[in-house]
Amino acid sequence: MPKIGLRNFHYAELTSDTESGVIYDEPVSVPGIQKADLNPNMSVDTCFADDAPSDVATTLGKITLGLTMADFPTKDKAFLLGHTVNTNGEMVSKSTDTPPYVAIMFECARSDGGIEYIKLLKGKFSEGQLQAQTKEDKINFVSDTMTGNFMKRLHDDQWKRTIISTDSGVNAIVIQDWYTSVEVESAT
């Protein structure tokens, strides 16, 4: 079904990702998401033998997320970019700043009345392009942007989770608790 809405952006810091487990902080809600452009680059290659295709293999490459927000609160933007906010309320950006790994969560309304819930499990954000323009005879809104680069977790190779509210067999508790934590299953 086509997506017709986007809302409820959250992030949670990933504090540990090892083969034995992962640990996330509590998710933080940031209002004002306008656009999420997820682009997982998959490579599909064909092996040829005896003058014909004999096998096909895929691999997951770079995963990027373009994020547009109506407004990004300074404390959240600073956190996601690894910057600091000083006692004057200024966001201070240094060349040595290192963004933390985070999981992000959001939901997309669908034309069938359902909701698709999405979690990206491990990534870092970088500064977006600053755009602004003067007022003219009409107002042109310009929003904040950021780019996230995501990857699979070391713990279990997972990089994304999704659930659609209208699918059969959906556990309602998973949807109810979607934004309370980044749930983790045992590696299998």
Q: Give tens-digit pLDDT for 69-124.
A: 998 899 999 999 999 999 999 999 999 999 999 999 999 999 999 999 999 999 99
Tell me what pLDDT residue 44 has.
79
The C-alpha atoms of residue 38 and residue 75 are separated, in whole angstroms, by: 24
Q: Which amino acid is at 58?
A: T
Domain borders along the chain are 7-41+57-176
Distances (CA, A) of 125 to 11, 79, 80, 148, 180: 11, 10, 6, 4, 22
- pTM value is 0.86
Spatial contact of 63 and 118, defined as CB atoms under 8 Å apart: no
80: left (phi over 0), alpha (psi -120 to 50) or beta: alpha
Q: What is the three-class DSSP state of 77? A: helix
- The parts of the chain modelled with pLDDT lower than 70 are 184-188
Tell me what pLDDT residue 45 has.
82
The C-alpha atoms of residue 111 and residue 35 are separated, in whole angstroms, by: 17
Q: Which amino acid is at 4?
A: I
Tell me what pLDDT residue 185 has.
57
Distances (CA, A) of 10 to 27, 45, 63, 87, 152: 6, 35, 18, 25, 19
